[in-house]
Structure 1
């Protein structure tokens, strides 16, 4: 059973315009918690510049929640939430649980984190717009880690879409509502 909140999932490829579309869906909201899940590499100046430009494009009245505990944000507070992005969240979680380093309980831990996120998404009473990459439309990655990530994100996107009120696909800056 889903809560009375409104869940909107915005999917698209890299540089498709998905974040801009997600922001437009929240343009009239007075209060927005912006959850930024992008993994930062201090040695990548170009990536840091992209993140800074992305953040600067947000309206000043939005609360930047950083890389907060997504389930906690969805479960509390008031106003709308922009989660940008599910892709970044999953990458960070895979690092955190040690999946890349073959930690003995990593698969169970990531499954628990994903379940916690999906449960909070389904139960939220807030308006939430989540941005995620659609990574399953291209060739299968050759490296095992890349396939694992692609598969995990595809399954997570399916689970989020299952309880979403709206699902959008953005391609070349054009948003198409799927549900």
Structure 2
């Protein structure tokens, strides 16, 4: 079972993904991609950790801001939850932004992740943000991020068994309702 959960910021994606993953196994591996560069982000991470503990499901947590495909490939956890792909993408884009072929370098990481995701036999739940509903970003790096995010989400959605959109805390399954050409 490969599941992609998407939605806007603060839409309830993470809570839904954690509850869904808890129904897929007895325990799991939580792969966190966030980096705490400031106090506000550190507080957000601590809140997420406390929320997970309060739900009673046993998570082993690993923090992996870059080597996501490698982490997925090497784990034997009964259930895997990755939160969040958008932060993982940001990490890579910021790491490569001064490279002349930054977009291509990041796209190759996305392709690697999509390949690994597609080959997973354990249940995997990936959380990502839907960033394409907003305004066109004013700055070039923002536009590149938005474009890469959209392409990443499309690639992973094609591979996923289920695609769930969470809006205002309400999950709606999209994959089974996808229009087929």
- Does the alignment pair 1:54 with 2:48? yes
What TM-score, normalized by structure 2, do the two folds share?
0.87
Aligned residues between the structures: 169
Say if 2:102 is the partner of 1:125: no
Post-superposition CA distance 1:64-109 (Å, at most 9, x none)? 011162212322313111000010110111123x22x2x1343332
Task: Please say if residues 75 and 125 of structure 1, whose CA atoms lie closer than 8 Å, have aligned partners that are also in contact.
Answer: no
Residue 24 of structure 1 corresponds to which residue in structure 2?
19
Task: Tell me which of 155, 160, 176 is aligned to 1:159.
Answer: 155
* Alpha carbons 2:5, 2:13 under 8 Å: kept: yes
Describe the superposition over 1:3-26 as per-residue Cα deviations: whole angstroms up to 9, x where unpaired. Answer: xxx110000101000101101101
Q: Which residue number in structure 2 is paired with residue 94 of structure 1?
A: 93
Structure 2, unmatched stretches of 5+, are 176-181
Decide whether aligned partners of structure 1 residues 154 and 178 sit closer, same or farther in structure 2, where only a CA change above 3 A counts. same
The range that moved more, 28-37 or 163-172, is 28-37
* Runs of 4+ residues deviating >6 angstroms: none
In structure 2, distance between residues paired with 1:105 and 1:148: 12
Deviation at 1:45, TM superposition (A): 1.5
Q: Residue 60 of structure 2 corresponds to which residue in structure 1?
A: 63
Per-residue CA deviations over 1:93-147 (Å, capped at 9, x if unaligned) read 1123x22x2x134333222211111110111111110000000111111111111
Matching residue of 1:3: none
Q: Which of the pair is proportionally richer in helix? A: 2
When the two chains are superposed, the root-mean-square deviation of aligned CA atoms in Å is: 1.5
Gaps of 5+ in 1: 1-5
